[in-house]
Structure formats: C-alpha cells, structure tokens
Amino acid sequence: MENNSIDRLILQIHDVNGVKFGEYKLKSGMITPIYIDLRVLVSHPSLMNQIYRWMDAVERENPELVSSTVYGRSYEGRNITLLKLGLRNPGSEEKKAIWMDCGIHAREWIAPAFCQWFVKEILQSYKTNEKLTQLLQNLDFYVTPVVNPDGYVFSWTNQSTRLWRKSRSDPPSGCTCHGVDLNRNFNANWGTIGVSHDCCENNYCGTSPVSEPETEAVMGFVGSRINQILCFLTIHSSGQLLLLPYGHPQISAPNYDELVSVGKAAAVEMKKVHGMDYTVGTSPQVLYANSGSSRDWARLVGIPFSYTFELRDKDFEPI
C-alpha cells in the first residue's frame, strides 16, 4: 500500500462521524485502541489482543451495563466475542435486541473501530442522556467488534497482506489459496450470484453454506434469538450506502417498502449530523448482486429489519 493511501485511511479512521476516538479513557487509565496511527501499527502483532483487553476492561468497569459472551471460535482458535449493552428493565419485562457486527471483511479496518466507537458513545452518554437510558432499559445491544479475527490479524502482518478480505481457513482439496469470504458463506441463496467457486478469488463462497466456523457462530447465536432480535446491522466500508435485503435481484423482502422507509429515515438523520448523503436500496439496485450474505440470512430467518452499512466516505470503492 502506498503511503498516500495509508494517510487517507488514517484520516478516515480518525474522523469517522467527526469523533477523535483516542480521547476516551477507561477508569483504569487504559485508553481504547481506536485512535491509532496506522503508519506505526501496520505490522503490530497484538492489535487483536488489544481489542480483547479493551472489551474485558469495558465489561469489568461497567458491570451494570456491559457483559460479554464468547459465542464461537475462529478457524485458528481465536475467540469470537460480543459485548451486550443493556440496563435492567424496571418492570422485569422481556427485552428486544439489536445486533451489530463489524470486521467480517478483514481489510475493512474502519469497521471494528466503528463498533468500538459505538460502545464508547453509549458508555459516555447513558448516565446523562435520559432517552438513551430508557432505550437501554427496553433494548439490549449485541455488538461484535471483529467477526473475522483471523483475517483481521493477517491483514496487519505487512503491507502485502493489507487488503486481505477473507477468513484464514485451509484451502479445499485441489486448491492452494486460504480463506473464505464469510459474507458469501451464509445460508441465504448461497452460491447463486455474485460469488466465486474459485477458492483463490476474494468472493469465494466456500465449499458449502456455513462451511466456516465464524459463519456458524453468528448463525448459532442470532438464530437462537430470532424472536428477540428486531434489527440486524452489519458494518462494512465504504461508499456511504445503506443496503437492505436481498442481494439476489429476483428476490424481494416481504417488507421491502418498510425497509426502504426506515433506511431513508436513517439516512436523513445521519445527514443532519454531518451533511453526508447515504444511498438506500438493495445491493443489486445500488451496488452489485450477491448471495450468501449475513444481511440476507437475517431477513430470511425472520428478523424484520436487516441492513448492511457501508460507512463513509466515497473516495474508496465499496469492498
């Protein structure tokens, strides 16, 4: 990666939604690793461990709000961990939930930073923001900063691995290339469009649906809570897009009009904050056709609202 590309990425990570991430400190004095100079840490071997330690500290120092769950293991044996954010419901009523995951594509470094920023904003605001407090009493948030930890770690190895997208599972028989595009491996019209069956391609969908442990982990956790989870959000970069199901151009979600309406309302609110336009539509309408995505799977199994956020800006092609 050329230096000017790294500089552009630094600016993108430092200025997501106009927030400098490094200004947040935990009570222990530990600084969240979101605000980082990528020129220094391009080959940093312990960045994923920093994120794990940050998650541990957030849970330890905010027990009334935060708990964590290891709900899976990656192919190389790393924890796939989420933070659950929610306050006790005063009436002990059953709570609904929102799912958010980041880092399913290894090279999209801004996505894990976004999930950390999201948690940081809640931690800093909920005690003084009455509306947020009420929201957390009625909704839980399940936040996974890095769904694909193996690929994420590998993408930080050196400049030659910077644009690694897939997981790091071993090649299938007859092939020499590692990894699967996890966002083409979900059991939703798997392998039909917008994928490759060549294991050396970036959008290789695997040997079968749910062939990868990372995919299985998400489907297992979310699938056991379908009646609880109202909204499934998966965070990617970039392009300023809000994508709704389905990735197949010949299939439409039963609540398509409602998905569009909610998506456009969200885009209006985001523009009010920073003046950035987000385009709303299905992937075939505004990007490209695809199959086997987590977004499509979530809607297919009955979660009413499911979206892919392609974060800003528009200087990079959506990946």
Active site residue: 108, 212, 214, 310, which one? 310
CB 32, CB 116: distance < 8 Å: yes
Question: Residue 263 has which token pair?
Answer: 């998506």
Distance CA(45)–CA(158), nearest Å, equals 10
Distance CA(222)–CA(234), nearest Å, equals 13
For residue 310, indicate whether it is catalytic: yes
> Which active-site residues does the annotation give?
310
